[in-house]
């Protein structure tokens, strides 16, 4: 059913490791986003991209980085994971050159990261 | 001030009840609005877009009041399966802004 895929779904890793969370969408959407959400808490935008080779930081400061080399792919990388990075990371995408009621966000199922 | 604000609840209502959620937005330039549903430990999923004239989808009715800068969601005849967190969202400029979500539990 989902047209936006995230891997891994769950990751438990030790402090200091480098990790990459993958996000791919098959809808041809120009816009892609990464949100961070702790349990029971609000969504925080950490990165977004409006197209290939375009990336911006979101409202929440994050030590992660992103790249957008292909339209369908928007990976997020943490060079050195820390326990404070433990959270759920949600990738999303939307369609269109502008913003309107038709440009809804579609979310992936999320990557739940635990850093020990 | 946050772009979008919601009462976090929780709302605990009996089956069959009607429940209403409100959401306010701070920027009068916000141009599009949505309600999302998020189940525990799942991703948000679009419930419905909110149109200026108001819109209905089965038991769900969404309304927009631009003068007072709020949107609302009405759920009639609540079902147990409606238990979830409901997030409102607004597009302002080039950004989506989400509220913190309102938790709903429908009780048998």
Work out the minimum CA distance from B5 to partner chain A, whole angstroms: 11
Say whether residue A107 is in contact with chain B using an 8 A CB cutoff. yes
**Which carries the bigger pLDDT value, residue A99 or residue A37?**
A37
> Which among B42, B49, B99 has CB closest to A104?
B49
Q: Can you give the pLDDT at residue B51?
A: 86
pLDDT (tens digit per residue) in A74-87 = 999 999 999 999 99
Spell out which residues of chain B touch residue A103, defining contact as CB-CB under 8 Å: 32, 91
Of B31, B43, B87, the CB nearest to A108: B43
Residue A1 confidence (pLDDT):
55
> Is a pLDDT exceeding 70 seen at residue A102?
no
Residues of chain B with pLDDT under 70: none
- pLDDT grade for A95, boundaries at 50, 70 and 90: confident
How confident is the model at residue A2, as a pLDDT? 61
Residue carrying structure tokens 């607004």: B90
pLDDT score, position B99: 93
pLDDT at A99 over 60: no
Identify all chain B residues contacting A41, using CB atoms and an 8 Å cutoff.
100
Strands A10-13 vs A111-115: parallel, antiparallel or unpaired: parallel
pLDDT 10s digits, A10-68:
999 999 999 999 999 998 888 999 999 998 888 999 999 999 999 999 888 788 999 99
Alpha-carbon torsion angle A64, A108, A4, A14, nearest 10: 40
pLDDT for residue A98 is more than 80:
no
> Phi/psi of residue A84, each to 5°?
-65, -15
CA dihedral A113, B94, A27, A70 (to 10 degrees): -70
Full DSSP string of A49-83: EEETTEEEE-SS--S-EE--SBTTB--EEESS--G
Q: What's residue B24's pLDDT?
A: 96
Q: Strand pairing partners for A88? A: A37, A112
């Amino acid at each position: 059913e989902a047209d936006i895929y995230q891997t891994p779904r769950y990751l438990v890793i030790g402090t200091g490791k480098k990790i990459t969370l993958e996000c791919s969408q098959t809808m041809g959407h120009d816009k892609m986003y990464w949100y961070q959400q702790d349990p029971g808490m609000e969504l925080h935008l950490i990165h977004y991209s409006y197209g290939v080779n375009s990336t911006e930081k979101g409202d929440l400061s994050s030590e992660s980085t992103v790249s957008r080399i292909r339209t369908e792919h928007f990976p997020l990388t943490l060079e050195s994971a820390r326990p404070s990075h433990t959270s759920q990371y949600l990738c999303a995408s939307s369609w269109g050159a502008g913003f309107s009621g038709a440009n809804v966000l579609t979310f992936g199922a999320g990557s739940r990261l635990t850093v020990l | 001030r946050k772009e979008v604000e919601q009462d976090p609840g929780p709302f605990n209502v009996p089956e069959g009840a009607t429940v209403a959620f409100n959401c306010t937005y701070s920027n009068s330039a916000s141009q599009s609005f949505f309600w999302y549903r998020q189940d525990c430990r799942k991703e948000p999923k679009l419930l419905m877009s909110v149109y200026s004239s108001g819109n209905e989808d089965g038991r769900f009715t969404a309304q927009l009041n631009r003068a007072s800068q709020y949107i609302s969601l009405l759920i009639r005849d609540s079902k147990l399966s409606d238990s979830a967190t409901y997030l409102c969202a607004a597009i302002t400029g080039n950004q989506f802004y989400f509220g913190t979500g309102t938790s709903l539990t429908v009780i048998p």
